Amino acid sequence: MTSGTLGAGPAALSRRSFFIACLLAPLVRSARADETTVEIHQFKFTPAELEIEAGSKVAFVNLDLVSHTATGNAFDTGTLKKGERAEITFPTAGEFPYLCKLHPHMKGRILVR
């Protein structure tokens, strides 16, 4: 009687782990797919050209010591100080060029499919 219960233990546990792994796998993939990071570093946007799908989020992260912005016609991160980040969602397809208002030679472009 007891031996039957013990035998079922490890099998039940591995079945459950497998089930949890199956549940988590799609979540991890989609989290990666719909948010991309643009790093602002040494007065440059990296990547300067970015292609994303409509509805995706882009996180702008300022790694410089000085403040920057990412400003386009349709969006504006506002002033990002050292270490600050702003997330922008791009709901519609199109081409979104942007620059840093404080240093207009800093340019980038987001292509939304």
Per CB under 5 A, residues contacting Cu ion are 68, 100, 102-103, 106
Of 74 and 102, nearer to Cu ion (C-beta) is 102
Of 83 and 94, nearer to Cu ion (C-beta) is 83
Q: 55 — phi, psi (to 5°)?
A: 95, -5
To the nearest whole angstrom, how small is the minimum distance from the Cβ of residue 59 to Cu ion? 17
To the nearest whole angstrom, how small is the minimum distance from the Cβ of residue 104 to Cu ion? 8
To the nearest whole angstrom, how small is the minimum distance from the Cβ of residue 73 to Cu ion? 18
To the nearest whole angstrom, how small is the minimum distance from the Cβ of residue 63 to Cu ion? 12
Tell me which H or E stretch contains 98. Answer: strand 94-99
Of 56 and 68, nearer to Cu ion (C-beta) is 68
Of 34 and 61, nearer to Cu ion (C-beta) is 61
DSSP calls for 22-48: HHHHHHHHHHHHTEEEEEEETTEEESS
Residue 102 near residue 67, CB atoms below 8 Å:
yes
Q: How far is 111 from 62, CA to CA, in rounded Å? A: 21
